[in-house]
Chains A and B, each alone.
Chain A
């Protein structure tokens, strides 16, 4: 069993839809990161969370430490949001990564 599980693995949405990606983890963590990876590889850190909720533009991330669960929400989705979204948890000095959610937003 992986330390970090994401769902869904693949997601196709129409432009404008509200999107939710879920992440569950099984280890004690000091922080959780949501990352965005575009084709070609480069990873961008969207959020770092240790509690509560953060919002940046159309992106919202929440975490429930007791339930070991986090969600990434995208409001009013746009084709440029198409990417792989990866949940990564930091425990000690090491990250454990989910396998990612591949999001395609269709115009």
Chain B
């Protein structure tokens, strides 16, 4: 079992560009959540997908959007990148929405905006 996999591992983008990050959940998991972790901070919740729909969203602007595919994998898109979007983006997967099940985290994608 590969666990949660994220791609790419590192990415450098220019301010104003758009970026897409990808996440494959742990086998059998159907719920994917995305988090942004700024340097020296704890992760902050961006949004969560279940059954191909965004079910819950944190305090992030509409520049942050996502998608979940029928195979439960997910993408995080960020438009009009700002320098402040530089962070580690973490994906977590779990089984079931609104269920108290354990979450598994990916290695993250390190995004640097220059």
Chain B residue total in the interface (Cβ 8 A)? 28
Comparing A12-20, A65-73, A95-103, the segment that makes contact with chain B is: A95-103
A33: B residues at CB distance < 8 A: 102-103
> Chain A, 7-50, contact with B by CB distance < 8 Å: what is the 0/1 string?
00000000000000000000000110101000011111100101
Chain A interface residue count, CB cutoff 8 Å, equals 25
Residue in A35, A95, A96, A100 whose CB lies within 8 Å of B33: A95
Please, which residue of chain B has its CB at the minimum distance from the CB of A96?
Answer: B45
> For residues 30 through 64 of chain B, which have their beta carbon under 8 Å from a beta carbon of chain A?
31, 33, 35, 37, 40-45, 48, 55-56, 58
Q: Does A86 contact B (CB under 8 A)?
A: yes
The docked-state distance in angstroms from the alpha carbon of A3 to that of B97 is 22
Chain A to chain B contacts (Cβ below 8 Å), 21 pairs: A30-B100, A33-B102, A40-B107, A43-B105, A44-B105, A45-B102, A45-B103, A45-B105, A48-B102, A88-B43, A93-B55, A93-B56, A93-B97, A93-B98, A94-B33, A94-B45, A94-B58, A95-B45, A98-B42, A99-B40, A99-B42
Q: Interface of A with B (CB < 8 Å)?
A: 4, 30-31, 33, 35, 40-45, 48, 50, 86, 88, 90, 92-100
In order of increasing CB-CB distance, the 7 nearest A-B pairs are A97-B42, A42-B107, A43-B105, A41-B108, A99-B42, A30-B100, A48-B102
